[in-house]
Structure 1
Amino acid sequence: MTQNMPEQNAEPVQQALHQLAADRNNVVALGTLAASEVLLPVPEDMPGPEAEPEPGSLQLPVYEQGDGVRLVPVFTSEDRLAQALPQIRSYRTVRLALLGQGWPTDELALSIDAGSPDTVTVQGEGVRALASLASG
């Protein structure tokens, strides 16, 4: 991996995911999640930062599942990223609320820690709502 994110930073976020797996309406866990930093995979075939159309913009890695659902995966640790997407060699660290502020469409879902027991998938409207939770 091209960046290091200490695993201890992932613990509160992973605990929040675990709580949300049991209770999707846990406001404290949602707030923790919204304020957290996550790892956004950068596929090798994706243009680098120098190819982004606008400074500060972020190109989202969109994966389409067999059922046609389109999602953007993010992860709370390098281990969970490596388990789900072993072919990915680099990522960007981004605050989850910032992703929500510019979420492009309701048809695109956010999958947090895909492949783990605590996977949480949030639909577009919910991703934008996470941004508002972190801001107050």
Structure 2
Amino acid sequence: METSAHDDLPTPAQQALDALAENAEDQAALDVLAHSDVLVPVPDDAVGREGADATSVALPVLEQPGGEPVVPVFTTEGEMAELLPFVSHYRLIPLGALASQWPDEDLSLAIDGNSTHALTLTSQGVRTLLAR
């Protein structure tokens, strides 16, 4: 059974998520997370439609059953493929930059949604914890 060396090693962002699962106030982990790039899924019908404005990104919003809308982002392509296998395009964005422009409405952020180190933040949490 061959596996490449990086298959089982968590990324720094995933290590930060694991640390935050144990201690939500871990400032070092929050800093790592804020400075990590995340994959923001781009629906196929939106590819090429965003035009020349590379400074804005259309946030994909999923409606949770009985919950508030959530924006899914991922730390790796593998995590994204597991939850959203039908999405083939994404933008790589620093999480802190995404957080600093977070909309005012009640929109949660789900990082690696269904993995063992998933983290979901409220809109307030995104702005206060990750906007750097």
TM-score range, shorter chain: 0.7 to 0.9
Partner of residue 75, structure 1 = 74
* Percentage of identical aligned residues: 40
> Secondary structure at the residue paired with 1:51?
coil
Residue 34 (str. 1) matches residue 34 (str. 2): yes
Partner of residue 108, structure 1 = 107
Higher relative contact order (CA 8 A, sep 6+): 1
User: Normalising to structure 2: TM-score of the pair?
Assistant: 0.86
- Aligned equivalents of 2:55, 2:19: Cα separation in 1: 33
Deviation at 1:50, TM superposition (A): 4.0
> Secondary structure at the residue paired with 1:121?
strand
- Aligned equivalents of 2:119, 2:58: Cα separation in 1: 21
- Tell which deviates more after alignment, 100-109 or 76-85: 100-109
When residues 7 and 103 of structure 1 are mapped into structure 2, their CA distance, relative to the original with a 3 A threshold, is: farther
Native 8 Å contact 2:47 2:89 kept in 1:
no
User: Normalising to structure 1: TM-score of the pair?
Assistant: 0.83
When residues 51 and 15 of structure 1 are mapped into structure 2, their CA distance, relative to the original with a 3 A threshold, is: closer
RMSD value, Cα: 2.2
Alignment-mate amino acid for residue 131 of structure 2 = A
Partner of residue 19, structure 1 = 19
- Pairs within 5 Å for 1:80-91: 80-91=79-90
- Residue deviations 1:23-49, cap 9 Å, x none? 11111111100010000011113x235
Q: Whose helix proportion is higher, 1 or 2?
A: 1
When residues 103 and 86 of structure 1 are mapped into structure 2, their CA distance, relative to the original with a 3 A threshold, is: same
Return 5+ residue gaps in structure 1 as ranges: 1-5
What is the aligned length?
A: 126
